[in-house]
Amino acid sequence: MSQPWSRRFDSPLHPVIDGFNASIGFDLVLLPVDVRGSQAHARMLARQGIITAQEGEQLVQGLAQIQQEYQQGTFPAQGEDVHFAVERRLTELVGAVGKKLHTARSRNDQVATDLRLYLREAIDSVTEQLRQLQRVLWGVAADHVETLIPGYTHLQRAQPVSLAHHLLAYFEMFQRDKMRLGEIRQRVNVSPLGAGALAGTTFPIDREYTAELLGFQGVCANSLDAVSDRDFVVEFLTAASLILVHLSRMSEELILWSSQEFGFIQWQDSCATGSSMMPQKKNPDVPELVRGKTGRVFGHLQAMLVILKGLPLAYNKDLQEDKEIVFDTVKTLQDCLAAMTVVWQEGIVFQEQRLARAVGEDLSNATDVADYLATKGVPFREAYQITGQIVKFCVQSGRLLKDLTLIEWQEFHGDFGADIYQAITPEQGVARRNSLGGTGFDQVRLALARAQAQCG
Ligand code: ARG
């Protein structure tokens, strides 16, 4: 009989049920962490005298060989899941002692341990990728402190900003993402090993020892909770979703900016794609894919919440469904971060002339007119109303604020002087927004210095 469970069963599984039940098709990626968890467990069993020191050593060695086989691509993936496949191979390699490995352990605490180890690594690698993306963004920002770009609200031009300031907004989002992952990592990094199937074990195990060997910060306090808790998965999916929200918003801007309507960036050939029919096309497929993949990860978050919602304690097979969700989320996140990093490294070129025209040829300096009057002592609300009349005049006569004559200015208010022209240049408008966290060049340089420390 091929199935590993007890003699209670007389007949083998129906092949359809066998296939339905199995997770080996996707959970083999857990093998490296599964082996590490088993090695820690074997060491603990020996240290506690539950098996002999020699048996412990044989198990640890056999498991090391399995790790090698996996890396070389020769590991025979047979059985219901990765845990059975490893145990079976171990018994082939080291003989009957292999059958002692599962003493005082269940696949329920085993798989929870694996998943936490896997996610801990994934969190570290995603955090590093975020840092890498931040570094690249930082470099682009540092080159563009004095490049101006229209700032928008409601997708209507509002006030020009430093391009570096705009890019550093994303830097901040990724900084929070790293912090969030760091906080979640603490709750991931707790050991369920030793919870057994649900109730603990009769053997004199040492959970703190295995936790320490595996680099966990502590042990899950309640055995029922240890095997059925997947909060940490939901938390990770939430953090992943937010990272993708940020990447997706960034993607949307890149797509808009590269449209002919905006024309703020151009794509380098290495990062854009063509059309099979329209020879002139150059498409921003990368940000579109990132935007699309975001929906897929939101779906995973929703799926995980729904899977958990009605589960009674403790382990239920429903929980096997967490694997593909986690693996796909990690891969999607890593792929999106890698692609976006390349995009910012070499994929786009800012069209500086076009940007200069965009900030200089509209009425987005109207706030500066109101501020000018307010600085001269006119109450801001009044200054705002007067500027509204001036804007209306410009719109009706098809002119820009900078084109009004001094006489025209003074017809609207006697406090306008010749210095109004200087006050309403886009450069002045940006430079003078020097309040803490604003787009003023001095503020942006301070922000860049701070940011450098955060991604260094
Ligand atoms: N493949 C299973 C999973 O991913 C391992 C745990 C199975 N435990 C059990 N009692 N059936 O959840």
Which atom of ligand 1 is least distant from the CA of 197?
A: 10
Q: Which of 154, 248, 270, 364 is catalytic?
A: 154
- Dist. CA 333 → ligand 1 center (Å): 26
Residues 6+ apart with CB under 8 A from 14: none
Domain 108-357 has CATH 3.20.20.70: no
Name the DSSP letter for residue 13.
P
Q: Which of 2, 259, 270, 275 is catalytic?
A: 275
**Length of the chain measured in residues:** 456
C-alpha separations of 362 from 60, 366, 384, 419, 425 in Å: 71, 9, 18, 20, 11
Pocket test for ligand 1, best of 317, 318, 324 (most atoms within 8 A of CB): 317
Alpha-carbon distance 241 to 300, whole Å? 9
Query: What pLDDT score was predicted for residue 276?
Result: 86
Tokens 């995973």: give the residue.
300
Query: What pLDDT score was predicted for residue 61?
Result: 98
Evaluate whether 15-103 and 108-357 have a shared fold: no
Query: What pLDDT score was predicted for residue 56?
Result: 98
Instruction: Say whether 154 is catalytic.
Output: yes
Answer whether 322 contacts ligand 1 (Cβ < 6 A). no
Q: Is the pTM of this model over 0.90?
A: yes
Pocket test for ligand 1, best of 80, 108, 233, 321 (most atoms within 8 A of CB): 108
Q: Which residues of 208-234 are buried (b: 16+ CB within 10 A; e: fewer)?
A: ebbbbbbebeebbeebeebbbbbebbb
Name the DSSP letter for residue 217.
S
pLDDT in tens, 18-52: 999 999 999 999 999 999 999 999 999 999 999 99
Answer whether 132 contacts ligand 1 (Cβ < 6 A). no
Answer whether 111 contacts ligand 1 (Cβ < 6 A). yes
Residues facing residue 265 across a β-bridge: 350
CATH fold group of domain 15-103: Fumarase C; Chain B, domain 1 (1.10.275)
Residue 224 in tokens: 């029922």
- Dist. CA 41 → ligand 1 center (Å): 18
C-alpha separations of 288 from 9, 74, 139, 252 in Å: 52, 38, 24, 8
Pocket test for ligand 1, best of 102, 320, 326 (most atoms within 8 A of CB): 320
Q: List the residue whose alpha carbon is closest to atom 3 of ligand 1.
A: 320
Alpha-carbon distance 78 to 25, whole Å? 10
* Residue extents of the structural domains in the chain: 15-103, 108-357, 358-455
Axis crossing angle, helix 107-143 with helix 31-47, rounded to the nearest 10 = 130
C-alpha separations of 438 from 152, 155, 455 in Å: 15, 19, 21
The answer to whether the complex's ipTM is over 0.90 is: yes
Query: What pLDDT score was predicted for residue 2?
Result: 53
Q: Give me the residues of the chain with pLDDT under 70, please.
A: 1-5
Answer whether 113 contacts ligand 1 (Cβ < 6 A). no
Centre a 10 Å sphere on the Cβ of residue 80 and count the other Cβ atoms it contains. 19
- Dist. CA 32 → ligand 1 center (Å): 17
Query: What pLDDT score was predicted for residue 256?
Result: 98
Centre a 10 Å sphere on the Cβ of residue 32 and count the other Cβ atoms it contains. 17
Answer whether 320 contacts ligand 1 (Cβ < 6 A). yes
Phi, psi of 23 (to 5 degrees): -120, 5
Q: List the residue whose alpha carbon is closest to atom 4 of ligand 1.
A: 320
**The architecture CATH gives domain 358-455:** Orthogonal Bundle (1.10)
Alpha-carbon distance 364 to 345, whole Å? 31
Q: List the residue whose alpha carbon is closest to atom 2 of ligand 1.
A: 320
C-alpha separations of 171 from 133, 309, 375, 455 in Å: 9, 35, 33, 9
Answer whether 248 contacts ligand 1 (Cβ < 6 A). no
Answer whether 107 contacts ligand 1 (Cβ < 6 A). yes
- Dist. CA 180 → ligand 1 center (Å): 29
